Amino acid sequence: MDGNPWGNEAETPIPTPFLFFSEDYHKGCDSNCAVLRQVYEEGKAGSTYLLSVAGTRHFNFSDLPYRQLGVLRPLFTLVGLDGTIRPGRALEISNAYLVAFFDEYLKGTRQVLFQGPSKDYPEVTFEKR
């Protein structure tokens, strides 16, 4: 979840189903995004996903935005650590996709969320290879 593969991990094709959850890169793909995209494109076709969530930054994939008090959240947003998405919505999206991914690949239960973009989560840019 919004982490980057490093070293050999970035150069080794992914042989099993894999889900990348990334922050919002609609303003352009930086070096972190480029590494994610490279690994995603070299992943096993049909079971590698790259999801980007509009309005998120790195810390939106944690509970940190919930713990920020008063002026802290706007300061974190200003310096680019939090995005503009509501903290509860970011966690709702993360939880829905993570549970669906594990249900699909560990339990073998086909999940609608992994068939394509979802009208319930329009903030998510969905890519599958």
pLDDT in tens, 26-71: 777 777 778 878 877 877 777 889 899 999 887 777 777 666 666 7
Q: Is the residue at 80 inside a domain?
A: yes
What per-residue confidence (pLDDT) applies to 1?
66
Q: Is the residue at 66 inside a domain?
A: yes
Q: Is the residue at 23 inside a domain?
A: yes
pTM of the model: 0.81
Q: Is the residue at 112 inside a domain?
A: yes
Which residue range forms the structural domain that includes residue 84? Answer: 7-128
Q: Is the residue at 2 inside a domain?
A: no
**pLDDT over 90 percentage in the chain:** 31
Question: Please, which residues have CB within 8 angstroms of residue 13's CB and are 6 or more apart in sequence?
Answer: 42, 43, 44
Report how many domains make up the chain: 1
Instruction: Give the mean model confidence (pLDDT) for residues 66-87.
Output: 74
Q: Is the residue at 118 inside a domain?
A: yes
User: How far is residue 30 from each of residues 3, 4, 54, 86, measured CA to CA in Å?
Assistant: 13, 12, 16, 24
